[in-house]
Amino acid sequence: MSENSQVTAILEHIEARERELACQAVQFRARIEELTRQLREADAENENLRITRKTLLALPMPSPAAEPERPDVPDHPAYQQILTALTDAGRPMRARDLCQALDLPILPENTEGIRSKLKRLVSRGILIEPEPGLFARPGA
């Protein structure tokens, strides 16, 4: 082989290597652009999280929810018996039905006495009166 052909072979090898490196450089630049884009997105999300944390920490802490005030049930055992009968029935009842449930004679004085106690329990928020004369536990 002559010196000239050796130089030509070396030059061809150099050109091929330059093309390879140029192609690799294009691929590396594309990867760098993609990684740069992903880095910007990660930085933006990180900044959003930092701002969210700062905002949440700046908010006043909510006070613990106080237990709802329970209405006072009168001490007389008749009220306990009425509430127990309503709970056992699981449905709204009338004063007459409660007299029967409590084994009271169906007399006007008993019915009116039970009705007045039921009205008192309604006024204290212990019972509800979904329709006139019909009494129930809330949520029943």
Of 17-31, 59-73, 80-94, the one with minimum mean pLDDT is: 59-73
10 HSE (CA, 13 A, CB side): 7
Residues 51-66: what's their mean pLDDT?
83
The radius of gyration computed from the CA coordinates of the chain, to the nearest angstrom, equals 43
Q: Which amino acid is at 139?
A: G
**Which H or E run includes 131?**
strand 128-131
Does 77-136 carry CATH code 3.30.160.250? no
For the chain, domain boundaries: 1-62, 77-136
Interior angle at CA 93, CA 67 and CA 91, nearest 5: 60
pTM score > 0.85 for this model? no
For all residues of the chain together, what is the average pLDDT?
89
